[in-house]
Amino acid sequence: MNDASLPHITTIRSHKGFTFSTISSLWQYHELLYFFIWRDIKVRYKQTIVGMSWAIIQPLLAMIVFSIFFGKLAKMPSDNIPYPVFCYTALVPWIFFANALSQCSESLVRSSDLIKKIYFPKLAIPLSSVLSGAVDFALSLVVLFIMMPFFGVSPTAEIIWLPLFILLAITTSIGVGLWLATLNVIFRDVRYAVPFLIQLWLYASPVVYPSSLLPEPWRSIYGINPMAGVVEGFRWSLLGTGNPPGTMLAVSACISLILLFTGILFFSRVEKKMADII
Amino acid sequence: MTNIAISAEGLSKSYRIGRKQARYKTLRETVTDFATAPLHRLKSSLHGHAATEQGELIWALQDVSFTIQKGDVVGIIGRNGAGKSTLLKILAQITQPTNGHAEIKGRVGSLLEVGTGFHPELTGRENIFLNGAILGMKRAEINRKFDEIVAFSEVEQFIDTPVKHYSSGMYMRLAFAVAAHLETEVLLVDEVLAVGDAAFQKKCLSKMGDIAIEGRTVLFVSHNLGAVHKLCSKALWIKSGNLVLEGESGHVIDKYCSDLYKIENDYSLRERRDREGDARIQFTRIYWQDENGHDLHSLRSGGNYTLVLDYEANTDSIYNDVFVSFLIKDNLHTPVLLHQTDFENGNFKDIPSKGQFFCKIPRFPLAQGEYTVNIFVSINNKTSDSIDNASRLTVDYGDYYCTGHQGRPELCKYLTEGSWELQGMSE
């Protein structure tokens, strides 16, 4: 309201390709982003029996199953860390990523009514669907901290780097999520491809096995999967396994940023005609 | 110069309408299109015409230019599918114009549909904040107006109940209340007054009136010509994507009505785009005949008439079970008369590819007044063609009762035979 003195001028014309307004209008409407996140968190577990506990049940059950089959039966190496902790540490960012992808890829299509009827920065929709997973993420992280002393693992000083890896997990989720959400607006095939993609991606990421299985230079190349960098980063900062993930992390971070930027470009391009094609 | 709130120049919007069902492409189609498109393009350029395989180009809006002064309340009128909503969507930045440009001075708020963005699981209170934010209000602004919004919506008691438990009336009231408190310098409104019961509609209308008095610029799309006349000083009339007339609202409405009357009395339905159905059978003309087969311009109560519906069927197949119906509504859009094939004769079988459906109505039972007729045809329960307001119908005074009494059209439009008798009872 304080900008009332300056006449606000809206110019309407046909644009193609990326326009900076995709991002700048999000800043103008930043409260809307909070409200969307707040709504998604609030609504996520409405009318469920165990509610928020789903955030913990998911990684815990996955951990139990993986520990039995990969840890006990297949005797998967785990960098000298008790397998359950080893695997759960990876599951914390992984489940955040997997949920973010499935929520985000559907987010735009699910909001088609809004997109067709109201003007607002549409970027807020996929963004909020990823960020609203933060609460689940935090809960599952708390469970990890409870679990660690139980298995005799204590956190190392490297834990100060954890926020960096969390940021990388978020960047990767938003980057991939934006691509999928935007593609889903044009091709509904995405809806069917995503569950499958997530499943494959799980095994392509070092969740049930350590990336130390790979010798260099393959390990650095493995970093092309940005989740490899995220997962190994989590393990290194929380459990102190191996060496700091050097080149692999650098590769992952680069790929993650590339995904994010191209995702925003692609989104901005499609945003112009979204109301017509959704 | 500085007092112009909205200026639009050459706004156009085209849509490509292709296959009817496919609203979005699958990956496979795109891949095959991608592979075959160069071939198609080559072929069509050899034949010397542009590549139109992907579908027909429809201009929803064509070269629309106008300026609106600050503080004007402007109505946009026109038939269904004329492009009114497309114009609002472009001004609201929901969709982009294909050509042309527009400039709007001041914050823009748009109410294209009330209640979009409400989440059923959230309470009324939570939805007020969420919806307010979606419409572009700041949190502080919503806080300040919260009580006013709740009072306006008349749902105080249920404000902490999830809106999924609301009745549809309560839901719409709350939605309108949030939207109505949007304080932007320019407001774009599409047909929101069609919500709630009569009392609430009246309240909405007076709220719109207040907004108009406050000196804000309002663009208002409505089919309710009465409301447009009452609220708006100026009006724009859009017909098949073109701006036909702009000016003082009374004048524009008059012109629009006379044109509407002319079109509808032209009886030709071929041009109508505001129809639904799969078009296996389509109505081409609607008119009335008297007993001697003469075409009529108006009917009289009590006369014997035949409604004639010309149609054309797509000739590929023979249709059985063809259901036809008509519905007459009075000037308040209240249905007053309905008849359909299965009431008495049963549906039609083996219909020829071109022909006429007749419906004889003896002693026409409607009192004098203006009516509209909706017509409908379906094959095996699947809608083929459905046109609302296919034609206007004028009924003049006629001697229905054979007594010279004309009934009381202001109270009741429907006339029926009846006889009154008196019988005493012995004590």
Q: Determine whether the interchain pair A42/B122 forms a contact, defined as Cβ–Cβ distance below 8 Å.
A: yes
Encode B347-361: b = buried (16+ Cβ within 10 Å), e = exposed: bbeebeeeeebebeb
Q: Determine whether the interchain pair A12/B119 forms a contact, defined as Cβ–Cβ distance below 8 Å.
A: no
Q: Give the residue from B3, B31, B94 with the most A CB atoms within 10 Å of its CB, the best one to mutate.
A: B94
Rounded Cα distance between A186 and B390, Å, is: 36
Q: Which of B24, B100, B130 is the closest to A188 by Cβ?
A: B24
Pinpoint the residues of chain B covered by CATH 2.70.50.60. 275-396
- As its CATH architecture, domain B4-17+57-261 has 3-Layer(aba) Sandwich (3.40)
A-chain residues near B105 (CB < 8 A): 7-10
Q: Determine whether the interchain pair B135/A43 forms a contact, defined as Cβ–Cβ distance below 8 Å.
A: no
Handedness of CA A122, A123, A125, A128 (dihedral sign): negative
Question: Coil, helix or strand for A6?
Answer: coil
| DSSP assignment of B393-426 | EEEE---TTSSS----TTT-SB------------
Render pLDDT for A187-224 as a digit per residue (tens, 0 to 9). Answer: 888 989 999 999 999 999 999 998 888 887 888 888 89
Report residue B366 as tokens: 């409607």
Q: Do the Cβ atoms of A150 and A63 come closer than 8 Å?
A: no
Q: Give the residue from A13, A44, A109, A270 with the most B CB atoms within 10 Å of its CB, the best one to mutate.
A: A13
Pinpoint the residues of chain B covered by CATH 3.40.50.300. 4-17+57-261
Tell which A residues from 34 to 93 touch B, by Cβ distance under 8 Å: 35, 39, 42-43, 46-47
Rounded Cα distance between A100 and A126, Å, is: 9
pLDDT in tens, chain B (427 residues): 468 889 999 999 988 765 444 445 666 666 776 666 666 655 554 454 444 445 677 888 999 999 998 888 899 988 777 888 889 989 988 888 999 989 998 888 887 777 778 888 899 999 999 988 888 888 898 999 999 999 988 888 899 999 889 887 888 888 888 888 888 888 888 876 556 666 777 777 788 778 777 878 888 888 777 778 878 889 999 988 899 899 998 888 878 877 766 655 555 788 787 888 888 899 998 988 888 888 777 788 888 999 999 998 886 777 888 999 999 998 777 889 999 999 988 899 888 888 899 999 999 999 888 888 999 999 988 999 999 888 888 888 778 888 878 788 888 889 998 989 999 988 7
With CA atoms as reference, the chain A residue closest to B140 would be: A1
Rounded Cα distance between A31 and B379, Å, is: 52
Nearest to B288 by CA among B312, B273, B304, B277: B304
Nearest-neighbour CA in chain B from A271: distance (Å): 9
Q: Determine whether the interchain pair B134/A1 forms a contact, defined as Cβ–Cβ distance below 8 Å.
A: no
The residues near A119 (Cβ < 8 Å, ≥ 6 apart) are B92, B93, B94, B108, B110, B136
Nearest-neighbour CA in chain B from A188: distance (Å): 6
Q: Do the Cβ atoms of B4 and B70 come closer than 8 Å?
A: yes
Query: How many pairs of residues across A and B have Cβ atoms under 8 Å apart?
Result: 114
Q: Give the residue from A5, A6, A12, A37 with the most B CB atoms within 10 Å of its CB, the best one to mutate.
A: A12
Rounded Cα distance between B303 and B285, Å, is: 22
Render pLDDT for A264-274 as a digit per residue (tens, 0 to 9). Answer: 999 998 988 88
| ipTM, 2 dp | 0.84
A-chain residues near B92 (CB < 8 A): 118-119
With CA atoms as reference, the chain A residue closest to B97 would be: A14
Q: Give the residue from A9, A15, A32 with the most B CB atoms within 10 Å of its CB, the best one to mutate.
A: A32
Q: Determine whether the interchain pair B96/A29 forms a contact, defined as Cβ–Cβ distance below 8 Å.
A: no
Quick check: A91 pLDDT over 90? yes
With CA atoms as reference, the chain A residue closest to B25 would be: A187
B-chain residues near A42 (CB < 8 A): 121-122, 126
B-chain residues near A43 (CB < 8 A): 119, 121-122
Q: Determine whether the interchain pair B102/A186 forms a contact, defined as Cβ–Cβ distance below 8 Å.
A: no
Pairing of β B108-111 and β B186-190: parallel
Q: Determine whether the interchain pair B95/A275 forms a contact, defined as Cβ–Cβ distance below 8 Å.
A: yes
The listed CATH number (3.30.70.2660, 3.40.50.150, 3.40.50.300, 2.70.50.60) that belongs to domain B275-396: 2.70.50.60
